[in-house]
Amino acid sequence: MGHIYLDPSEAVDFIADTRDFVANTQKLEGCLFYSIALDDQATGRVLTVERWKDQDALTAHTQRPEMAEVMGKWMSRIKMDIQKYDASNERDLTN
């Protein structure tokens, strides 16, 4: 989970360029949740939230050619502040 920062003038283009990537990622085995959303257009802040079945699923995702394509296009224009967390004691919000 974390943020991606880019020039505000490119934020809408980034979201458009990643739309198919996100949709394809959501279909991957082991992907429990994956979203990239414009959080603050004025500052160029994009929220990314991922949830994976296990480390193997996450690793497979990061090694996909489609990931390399997206990163190749945008890496020099973005700054990422994304952290990986391990969760325990998962339960329904009402419990």
Question: Using one digit for the tens of pLDDT, what is the confidence trace for 33-49?
Answer: 999 999 999 999 999 99
pLDDT score, position 90: 84
Single-letter amino acid code for the residue at 65: P
pLDDT score, position 60: 96
Q: pTM value?
A: 0.88
- β-sheet bridge partners, residue 28: none
Q: Are 15 and 46 in contact (CB under 8 A)?
A: yes
CA–CA–CA angle 23, 6, 73 (5° rounding): 55
Residue 44: which of 71, 77, 69 has the closest Cα?
77
**Separation of alpha carbons 74 and 11, rounded Å:** 11
Where helices occur in the chain by DSSP H, the ranges are 11-26, 55-62, 65-74
Is the C-alpha dihedral spanning 46, 41, 39, 16 positive or negative?
negative
Record the tokens describing residue 17, joined without a space.
């360029």
Record the tokens describing residue 49, joined without a space.
């939230």
